[in-house]
Structure 1
Amino acid sequence: MKKWLFTMLFGSALVLGACGGGGDDGGNEEPADNGGTDTEESTGDEGGGSVDTAAAEELYQNNCASCHGGDLSGGAGPKLSAIGSKYSVDEIADILKNGKNNGMPAFEGQLSEGDITTLSSWLAEKK
């Protein structure tokens, strides 16, 4: 059973990784804090802070979708479609960095601080 689950998760990760888009210049998130004048920021934001939605979605697909579902609907991990109504940006970032005792792994050596910030900000918008 464990081999089957591992095979499915690994296969899903390969398929989702291959579906990743192109034309991204590496997802450097430093310009996102410049007051909203950058043209590569998301156009679907509500104002205030800005999140590079395309980069966040790519990070999610590459690192989270195999457990939480490609559409945030859940799977091996809980659904995340309304995670922002339960946790703040800082709480989500903490969970991403340190993991959680219910099987959520820590991503602090695998994702950069900028990637964690992008992903946690994007997930916090899911309400």
Structure 2
Amino acid sequence: MKGELFALLMGVSLVLAACGGSDDTTTTETADPEKIYTQSCSRCHGGDLKGRGPAADLSAIGARLSVEDIEKVIAEGKKGMAPRLIEGAEAKAVAEWLGAKK
């Protein structure tokens, strides 16, 4: 029983780590949006921003959505995307970076 509980806790920990997270001490000036994207978003949206499976193609997202709209999608999620995978200054930095993709 203890082994099963330990395995469950380890699995949950790995899932939470893979889903990103935020550090409240990060500011948009110190946040590296490409690194944050790679750690928290590229698993679904791809390293080339083209999307994988049902995940949206973000390569020209700035031509379709404003930075504010991108921040809203990050905060609220959309379709199969979970909300708040990144938050605060990290979410803002990624939204600004993606907003420049046109």
Q: TM-score, normalised by structure 1?
A: 0.56
Give the helix-richer structure, 1 or 2: 2
Provide the rounded CA distance (Å) in 2 between the counterparts of 1:70 and 1:112: 20
Is residue 89 of structure 2 the alignment partner of residue 114 of structure 1? yes
Same amino acid, percent of matched pairs: 35
Provide the rounded CA distance (Å) in 1 between the counterparts of 2:81 and 2:64: 16
1:58-73 equivalences in 2 (<5 Å): 58-73=35-50
What stretches of structure 1 move > 2 A for 4+ residues in a row? none
Query: Are residues 103 and 89 of structure 1, via their aligned partners in 2, closer, same or farther at CA, if it must alter by over 3 Å?
Result: same
Provide the rounded CA distance (Å) in 1 between the counterparts of 2:90 and 2:37: 10
Q: TM-score, normalised by structure 2?
A: 0.69
Aligned-residue RMSD, C-alpha: 2.5
Question: Partner of 1:123: helix, strand, or coil?
Answer: helix
Is residue 67 of structure 2 the alignment partner of residue 89 of structure 1? yes
Q: Where do 5+ consecutive residues of structure 2 fail to align?
A: 1-13
The count of residues paired between Structure 1 and Structure 2 equals 81
The structure, 1 or 2, with the larger RCO (C-alpha pairs under 8 Å, 6+ apart) is 2
Q: Where do 5+ consecutive residues of structure 1 fail to align?
A: 1-9, 18-26, 33-39, 41-51
